[in-house]
Amino acid sequence: VTNNAPAVFPEGTTSVTWTATDPAGNTAIAVQHVTVADAESPALSAPPSLSRMTGPSSTQAGVVIAQADLGTATATDNCPGSVSIVRSGVPTGNFFPIGITTLTHTAIDATGNTATATQQVTVLDNTPPVFTAVPADITVSTGPGATVCGAVVASLGTATASDNSGSVTISGGAPANSVFPVGATVVTWIATDPSNNQTRANQRVTVVDNTPPTITAPANVTVSTGPGATNATVLVPDTALGTATATDNCFTPTVTRSGVPTGNLFPIGTTTLTYNAADLVGNTATATQRVTVVDDTPPTITAPPNVTASTVPGTCAAAPAIGSATASDNSGIVAVTSNAPASFPKGTTTVTWTATDPSGNTASAAQLVAVNDLELPMIIAPANVTVTATSASGAVVSSAALGNAAATDNCPAVSVSSSGIPAGNLFPIGTTIITWTATDASGNTARATQTVTLSYAVCLLYDPTKPAKLGGTIPIKLTLCGADGTDLSAAATVVHAVRLTKANDTVSGTPEDSGSANPDNDFRFDPTLGVSGGYIYNLSTKNLSSGTWSLHFTVNGQGDYTIQFQVK
């Protein structure tokens, strides 16, 4: 018996033929199948592990690794035939995130036996965070009234940062309401990513000391010149002035003083001393002290001599030159005033001269100004009065008819009196003179006269409108009447023709009687005329012309009586 079995069977099923041969050469065959199964895994080698950095300015949370950089796995197998290799775990787009990514390589032989190997891809984050916002530098002041050498900052603000990893932690800064000292303080903000990459940013907090020192000046000082002083200054020594005190929130201030006059001789009035406190950064504060020198020394004054003057015409006053007072004062300045009016009234006026220094101290002296009224009053008598007699004795003239004189004077209070027949009494026929007298308060007098004329009414005993023949004789007949027409004619009363005048003409002449019937141009008394008798004048017209004429006559040598007649 023989077979064709190999020494080593290959993978798979091998048919082994068994042959039986007898000596005669007869054979018989039988087949045997020998199956060899491949259960051995391939031998696989993965590419070496890789490390990559994100880089200093990356904005991604990983890196892209090219296929070539990842490498290729290699595999062998105990059996011939191809061995396929597959890889898993590569991120999309070959973008490997920060950290370790494990790639798995799998080798598969023709029988399906597999082997795996891993490759680690490490992405290291070396990209520091980036600050997207850093709080602005802050400058604050200590402020007025501060007692510490610093300032409270309520909030520094908020810093923000970004990182390629997408995660960042910010530390640093300072708590809210922290006190920062005067000067510049650097606040550091730190941004840290999960890989412990850090970025630092600085914020400057500047505290400015603008708090002025506090200063207290010495108390005010008041002194006086005294009653007999001759100077306008007073010595006030430094010990009397005192010393200012000052404090500051940060430094010891320096105190200076200004305003002290030379020699500490302070003038009249108020002198202000200024005390200045300055700290090391130039903040200052001032306080003042008033040194008051009171001038209580009165001036001296001498009034001018007394003055006598007369009133100005038309006024009850005078404006004489009264001179000026003289004065002096320890201050060197003195104002002299008086209560003198612009004009002085009649009488004696006391003028008070007052000297006043700049501090209000006064002294006074008196001057007498006498004004005498020597001006006479002015008086105007009432208008002359003409009254028609009521009887042969005359007529009573009333106060209303007589009137009153008007008097004025340059000064008030002028009285008026009259002499002669008083009003309300009987005035005789003819002319009576009344003298009016104005007397002022100073005894000056002025006089004016008023004439009261009592005359008869003339009652004609002829027709004055009936023309007489030119060249002939006109018998002028009349009676002397009272106001009521009562005949008052009497033989003892002389009626005398004076002159002739022509109406509307300048012609005048002397009356001529006809036939010497009227000697001396007196009217002739005729007891047969009228009631008690009358008067007749035979007037010759031979020297007249046609027209209206007036005959003027007197009664007992007084008055100017006029009657008319016509000549044709």
Each of the 568 residues of the chain gets a pLDDT tens digit; together they read 999 999 999 888 999 999 999 999 999 999 999 988 888 999 999 999 999 999 999 999 999 999 999 999 999 999 988 999 999 999 999 999 999 999 999 999 999 999 999 999 999 999 999 999 999 999 999 999 999 999 999 999 999 999 999 999 999 999 999 999 999 999 999 999 999 999 999 999 999 999 999 999 999 999 999 988 999 999 999 999 999 999 999 999 999 999 999 999 999 999 999 999 999 999 999 999 999 999 999 999 999 999 999 999 999 999 999 999 999 999 999 999 999 999 999 999 999 999 999 989 999 999 999 999 999 999 999 999 999 999 999 999 999 999 999 999 999 999 999 999 999 999 999 999 999 999 999 999 999 999 999 999 999 999 999 999 999 999 999 999 999 999 999 999 999 999 999 988 887 778 887 666 778 899 999 999 999 999 999 999 999 999 999 999 999 999 999 999 999 9
Q: What is the pLDDT of residue 516?
A: 67
DSSP 521: G
Distance (Å, whole) CA 530 – CA 459: 9
Q: How many CB atoms lie within 10 A of CB 13?
A: 11
Cα–Cα distance measured from residue 290 to residue 541, given in angstroms and rounded to the nearest whole number: 116
What is the identity of the amino acid at 543? N
CATH number of the domain to which 185 belongs: 2.60.40
The count of C-alpha atoms lying within 13 angstroms of the C-alpha of 399, restricted to the half-sphere facing its C-beta, is 2
From 317, 346, 372, the end of a domain falls on: 372
Same-domain status, 304 and 404: no
Q: In this structure, are 447 and 461 located in the same domain?
A: no
Indicate which CATH number applies to the domain containing 318.
2.60.40.10
Q: How many domains does the chain have?
A: 7
Smallest CA-to-CA distance from 253 within 214, 290, 279 is with 279
* Residue 497: φ, ψ to 5°: -75, 135
Total residues belonging to the chain? 568
Interstrand relation of 457-460 and 473-481 (parallel, antiparallel or unpaired): antiparallel
Q: Return d(Cα 301, Cα 362) in angstroms, integer.
A: 9
Q: Check whether residue 280 and residue 307 sit in a common domain.
A: no
Task: Give Cβ neighbours of residue 183 (< 8 Å, ≥ 6 apart).
Answer: 206, 207
CB 489, CB 534: distance < 8 Å: yes
Q: Which domain holds residue 180?
A: 130-208
Distance separating alpha carbons of residues 132 and 160, to the nearest angstrom: 5
Question: How far is it, in rounded angstroms, from Cα 86 to Cα 76?
Answer: 14
Answer yes or no: do 117 and 137 share one domain.
no
Which helix (H) or strand (E) segment is 366 a member of?
A: strand 362-372
Question: Going by C-beta distance under 8 Å and a sequence separation of 6 or more, which residues neighbour residue 156?
Answer: 135, 138, 173, 174, 187, 203, 205
Are 310 and 241 in the same domain? no
pTM for this prediction: 0.47
Q: Are residues 257 and 170 in the same domain?
A: no
The position carrying tokens 């007249």 is: 544
- Same structural domain, 104 and 67: yes
What is d(CA 268, CA 56) in angstroms, rounded to the nearest whole number?
Answer: 83
- 494/562 same-domain check: yes
Residues 229 and 322 in one domain: no
Residues paired with residue 178 on neighbouring β-strands, in sequence order:
153
CA distance linking residue 535 with residue 487, whole number of Å: 12
Question: At which of 225, 259, 294 does a domain end?
Answer: 294
Which tokens is 320 given? 């004489």
User: Do β-strands 445-455 and 430-440 pair in parallel, antiparallel, or remain unpaired?
Assistant: antiparallel
Do 469 and 561 reside in the same domain of the chain? yes
Write down which residue in 167, 185, 208 finishes a domain: 208
Write down the pLDDT at residue 80: 86
3-state helix, strand, coil in the chain (%, to 5): 5, 50, 45
Same domain for 416 and 508, yes or no, is: no
Same domain (yes/no): 400, 501: no
